[in-house]
Structure 1
Amino acid sequence: MSLSRRKTLALLGGGSILAATGAGAYAVTRMPRTALEPWAQAGSYAEPRMRALSYAILAPNPHNRQPWQVDLRKDGEVTLRVDTDRLLPHTDPFSRQITIGLGCFLELMTLAAAEQGYGVDLDLFPDGEDPTTLDTRRVAVARFTEGTGIAAPDLFGQVMQRRSLKEPFDTEQTVDQATLDEVLGVATLSQVAGSVVPRDIAELRALSHEALRIEIETPHTYKESVDLFRIGRREVDASPDGIDFTGPMFEAMALTGTFTREGALDRSSMAYTEGLKAVFANTDTAMGHLWQVTPTNTRADQIAAGRDWLRLNLAATKVGLGMQPLSQALQEYPEMSALYTEVHDRLAPEGGTVQMFARIGYGPDIAQSPRWDVESKIVHA
């Protein structure tokens, strides 16, 4: 979890950090032990598919659910399926966002393979697709061919530094149009656009603020997020996915019971009210926005959007620009329907589906996100 949110939620702890002494004081300084190891292991495998997959698991994905499962039993191939236990039925009822995350995974795998000279041919949804849900059918079969990969070092070189920057941005540092254009220029599979015009920034800040408010104040969508809270290093190491809260302040609050999932759900609690202020500080400091549109909304479109989303993230990292997805207004549940229509009228006036929407700006360096190791994602169907 980010520094600014730590600072905000530190208010909730009161004297809990100062009260931690002896063994407790040592405990609050500990960081997750195993949850970040996959970052260090990336690229350490000799087998080409395993090497590519060791990077692919670092791809951005909704709520850090890491919904990928791979089968390597056929030589030279990676079969990708979705882990149906890792869907988001309340905020992502048709699994559109999960599919975009799978597209990010496939693109990062392809970029990593290309660095070793391997080309990857993707056969998407070979068993057919259901636009309303994801199931156990194959999402993709990826075939690796030696000697056909075209490396993209400018993008792949940013993989280890890429983050989803969930911090308030520096409102004194503007984003210039040339920087935005450089980022947008790497997309090849979807329509991308953006704006750093002050009037657009103000209006889109307000829209994304309201969408976030709706998601949080809608009980079933907010609880879906809270259920995925990982509070303190022990929880993060045990389940290195979801929404992590680590570092001395959160360790102290975990030890003292000051910050709990139950407290976060209580709208009268300081955990709820201060947490709300913390996330609004992100939407309200956007210094520009970018978005992706596809003409239709097939599963292949969603995969394509994910592949471009990964490339946009890497391009932003290269120029030092922070990005954070603000997907709330794009979510397809009844309480969000009015804003869903508004954002499509604004960002896709000619029709199509807005697949991703993000704020951009400059902010601090942040830590890596927890990950399950690559071996845990290899299954046999």
Structure 2
Amino acid sequence: MIKRRDFLKQLFAAGAVLGGGTLTGACSGITRADLPEDNTSEQSPPMLDPTGRHILYYASLAPSGHNSQPWRVRIEAATTWIVEANGDRRLPCVDPDNRELLLSIGAFAENLFLAAGALGRHADIEVIANSSHDRDILRVVLRSGQANGDPLNLLATRRTVKHGHLPKEISANDVAALSHQAGGGLFYFPRTSSHAACIRDAAVESFRIQAARDDAQRELVHWLRLKNRDAMHHRDGLTPEGMEIRGMANWFVRHFVSPDDFMKTDFRRKGVDVTAQLAREGGGWMVMTSSGDNVADLIGTGRRFQRMALAARARNIGIHPMTQVLEEKTGRSAIAGNHNRHFFPQFVLRVGYLDHYPKPVSLRRPVEWFVTS
């Protein structure tokens, strides 16, 4: 009988674990489509009407580091909400200053704004935090309005895409469209440019450095949801589907791999190898900057990113944030050295056209789980 360790080595050799794999025919794990939007076992706060609940559901489809979903919403009145940073969902090892947390809450705010407009409400959103470690971040006031179109399908189908980026440069028209949605501060470096090579190398080296850090790897392990029962219990974090582990590798990881296995040298090394492979794929790199780094700047940049990401979804362009390059000092220096000192890099993104845009699979907590009164 083949030993578990030897089987893992075979998966490594095949490039299956962490890399997606090509084996097929195994049952899949839990995806977003398998879980209902509503959580009938719990009731929403009485001041949250069905429209408000739908708005918050679409807001929660925003991206976040490790899919930690670091937002909480306090219902102060039927039309007044406070968006909080949930301290239990911070990533202190890789995001000690809450930079990425605030960017995620900015993306949440943009989804909220767009969903409100689509559902006949207008959302006035005010930044009320003074420090990146404040609990209360935004005040949202809803007013009656007129439905202004239907971006809900884009909100529901946008996702991070790691695999399948085609080696075709992004067209000038598409770059201009994405930059327009981003409100400026978006720089594209085609795959064959020297700048792209610099970013690629910095991204891989930063991933290697971070993978060697026990604290950062342990933080990642905390958010792994490898078993179906864990995915259903938490409805957040990183599932095998979210990490794009497919086929037989997916089945094996869900049944025989524990999160602690990701602390082992072989798993870390494989992660670096897969990252190096992915970094060579796609149509190039984009860097999104802000003109400052205070709370309002970060919230605003998160909102700009989400508008750009939705425009990319509409154009069948995959986006893969390579966050480690801005989390490690070596990567930050490499990226910042290519920009004016008055601009702050906030996102480093590998981008590429896709033959097929895959369905979203990352899980989301029911609204009732992150709303308080």
- After superposition, the Cα gap between the structure-2 partners of 1:11 and 1:225, relative to the gap in structure 1 and judged at 3 Å, is closer
What's 1:220 paired with?
215
> Structure 1 residue 298: deviation in Å?
0.5
> Structure 1 residue 150: deviation in Å?
7.1
> Structure 1 residue 293: deviation in Å?
1.4
Work out the percentage of aligned pairs sharing the same amino acid.
21
- After superposition, the Cα gap between the structure-2 partners of 1:51 and 1:293, relative to the gap in structure 1 and judged at 3 Å, is same
What's 2:371 paired with?
378
Query: What does residue range 179-328 of structure 1 map to in structure 2 within 5 Å?
Result: 179-188=174-183, 191-196=185-190, 198-199=192-193, 200-246=195-241, 249=248, 250-255=250-255, 257=256, 259-267=257-265, 269=266, 271-328=267-324
> Structure 1 residue 176: deviation in Å?
1.9
Q: 1:351 aligns with which of 331, 342, 345?
A: 342
Q: Residue type of the partner of 2:148?
A: A
Q: 2:119 aligns with which of 91, 116, 133?
A: 116
Q: How many residue pairs were aligned? A: 344
Counterpart CA distance in 1 for 2:209 and 2:286 is 21
Conserved? CA contact 2:81–2:140, under 8 Å? yes
Conserved? CA contact 1:228–1:242, under 8 Å? yes
Q: Residue type of the partner of 1:103?
A: G
> Structure 1 residue 279: deviation in Å?
2.7
- After superposition, the Cα gap between the structure-2 partners of 1:33 and 1:220, relative to the gap in structure 1 and judged at 3 Å, is closer
Q: 1:340 aligns with which of 323, 329, 332?
A: 332
> Structure 1 residue 323: deviation in Å?
0.4
Counterpart CA distance in 2 for 1:328 and 1:39 is 31
Q: Deviations over 1:25-75 (max 9, x none)?
A: 9xx62532778535689xxx9633212111011111111001111122412
Counterpart CA distance in 2 for 1:197 and 1:285 is 8
Conserved? CA contact 1:35–1:240, under 8 Å? no
Q: Does 1:76 pair with 2:67?
A: no
Give the TM-score normalised by structure 1.
Answer: 0.82
- After superposition, the Cα gap between the structure-2 partners of 1:168 and 1:215, relative to the gap in structure 1 and judged at 3 Å, is farther
Counterpart CA distance in 1 for 2:161 and 2:68 is 17
What's 1:53 paired with?
56
Q: 2:326 aligns with which of 319, 330, 334?
A: 330
- After superposition, the Cα gap between the structure-2 partners of 1:266 and 1:210, relative to the gap in structure 1 and judged at 3 Å, is same
What's 2:108 paired with?
105
What's 1:22 paired with?
none
Counterpart CA distance in 2 for 1:275 and 1:161 is 27
Q: 1:151 aligns with which of 128, 148, 153?
A: 148
Counterpart CA distance in 2 for 1:365 and 1:88 is 29
Give the TM-score normalised by structure 2.
Answer: 0.83
- CA RMSD for the aligned pairs? 2.9
What's 2:140 paired with?
142
Q: Which runs of 5+ in 1 are unaligned?
A: 19-24
Secondary structure of the structure 2 residue equivalent to 1:71:
strand
What's 1:130 paired with?
131
Q: Does 1:9 pair with 2:9?
A: no
Q: Deviations over 1:318-343 (max 9, x none)?
A: 01100011121212xxxx22321221
Conserved? CA contact 2:240–2:253, under 8 Å? no
> Structure 1 residue 312: deviation in Å?
0.8
Counterpart CA distance in 1 for 2:35 and 2:108 is 18
